Amino acid sequence: MAENQGGSADGKAGAASGAPAGVLTAQQLEELQQTILGTMIKWQRRILRGAEVLSSPLEIEVGATSYETLHKRDRVELRLYKSTAKQPLATPTILVYALVNRYYMMDLQADRSMFKVFLDAGLDMYVIDWGYPTRGDKFLTMTDYIEDYIDHMVDEVRRRTGQPQVNLMGICQGGTFSAIYAALHPEKIRNLVTIVAPIDFDTDTGLLNVWARRMNVDQMVDTFGNIPGEFLNVGFLMLNPVRLMFDKYVSFLENLDDANFVANFLRMEKWIFDSPDQVGEAFRQFLKDLYQQNKLVKGELEIGGRKVDLKNITMPVLNAFAEADHLVPPACSRRFTELTSSKDTEVLAYPTGHIGMFTSRRSQTEYTPRMAAWLAERSGGRAAAADGPVEASGKGARRRGGKE
């Protein structure tokens, strides 16, 4: 009886208003309806505002750091980001980014810029900008990218700086290209840095690897010629559709009144959808030789008529990857240093995702400073006057005006 009396307050309230226990009164029902209606109107207005922001021209600046374009070969540019240190490091660093998307993700804004960290640490960063391929480029192969464009730019930097060797830093697919180049031309590379770079493709831990292994790439290339960037974007979004096509836009709507959040969001959107078409033959070779047959690890990959042997990599190697990477699973990157002959290696496994490696707060305060320090320790001290510029050639170099 006591329990019944103690739990009957709501029932008495309902009875007093003429409604049975557990049933909303007319007033409560009206209040609930008003709350639901108000929430719907609020979200409708947010959706309309969000749609207006996203559908308008993205007048948002990306690339916080100034640079100078030094050289151009076809559509490929060599850009210099000059060190901000009083005395830069002697060895120049060349950045090789992936063919997919654009390298400015590493320099989105002043407080999210890997470049700023590298430049402050004394690195002169020479960036290979791949540009936007046209239909006339569809027959370019991996050999053209590695043995022509990368090799040409490496020699151009050596010639300009008077340094016989460069640091080579490769990002994602650019890391794969950099590893291949370092194996083919070890005499030109002082240090090799790979960041979220796929090397060993024999894994089913990533959906992208599973899809790529079963993809009819011949049919794709024969149909499209160059693979449209928009087509690939759809595939990347489907790797994590809930987060990439729903959750992030809900978060965007919830933070519409936060100007900094909106600016950051729009910069990322600009980068995500700034996707150059992929050159057909290079795309075909990358998927068939690497994703489907894993030829690089097996020692069967041929570039320019030469077999690529990762054991030819003898220079110091830093290999950094993201433990929560859904594009390049850790299994694709983890073993890289073990496949080389380098006696000086370091592996950095960070608790972040593919994009977090470049744009997260920890990237600015922890990940990138560690990479910069590693390079600084191995780049031959600070810059000093060279005997003379290097005369670059396909196989080696010698100084002009100095001793051979």
CA distances from 278 to 96, 221, 287, 301 (A): 16, 10, 12, 20
Extract the tokens encoding 194.
């790979």
DSSP string over 195-260: ES--------SSHHHHHHHH--HHHHHHHHSSBPHHHHHHHHHHTSHHIIIIIHHHHHHHTTT-HH
304 backbone φψ class: left, alpha, beta (φ>0; ψ -120 to 50) = left
Strand partners, 318: 193, 346
Residues 6 or more apart whose CB falls under 8 angstroms from that of 117 comprise 364, 368, 369, 372
Please give the C-alpha separations between residue 396 and each of 70, 240, 281, in angstroms, as whole numbers: 22, 46, 29
Host H or E run for residue 347: strand 345-350
**Contact indicator for 265, 271 with CB cutoff of 8 Å:** no
Of 142, 172, 179, 192, which one is the catalytic site residue? Answer: 172
Active site residue 332: no
Residue with tokens 């024969």: 222
Please identify every residue annotated as catalytic: 172
